[in-house]
Amino acid sequence: MNVLEPRRALRATLVAAAIALGSGVAWAQPTDAPAAAQAHAHPMRAGGDPMMGALIRLHDQLALDSSQQAQWDNAVATMKSAHAQGATLRQNAKATFDAEIAKDQPDLAAVAAAADAARAQGDTLRRSVRDAWLGVYANLNPQQKAMVGSALRQRAADMEQWRQQKRGRAS
């Protein structure tokens, strides 16, 4: 057996653990830029959720009343808080990973446990952000909800067209 094979296996395991640390947690991004610009800047600006993304992109067109705007501001604050907490979770999980790989015999169970804990806490954060945006949507009037529905249908159609194009190239 080649001496490098166990090292390659360990390296592959550590890479997989690092990917696990970073992949399972969805975070809302900071909201310092205008809402529409944020949503278009990166698909994960709204936590990867099409409903939240549609709301954010439509903010200016929705013409929110003062009560709706207050709820909107609360949802944005929830997103910012979740982003900050998510960053801390990622840093803590990475610190565990870094501490373990510095050892001659890393405890991969500890790395996995840290990744699982970060993922679970991140999922709770994601749900709190989603629920805040669902609250915003619930308080929209029928015309505003129709705008959101139209935007979601257009997004779904665009994604289906993209998938069809992708499949055509893969054939």
pLDDT single digits (tens) 10-59: 555 555 554 544 444 443 444 444 444 444 434 344 456 788 888 999 99
pLDDT digits (tens, 9 = 90+) for 147-171: 999 999 999 999 999 999 988 876 6
How many residues are given for the chain? 171
Domain segments of the chain: what residues? 4-170
The DSSP-derived string for 110-128 is: HHHHHHHHHHHHHHHHHHH
Instruction: Write down the number of H helices and E strands in the chain.
Output: 6, 0
Q: Environment class of residue 109 by beta-carbon count within 10 Å: exposed (0-12), middle (13-18) or buried (19+)?
A: exposed
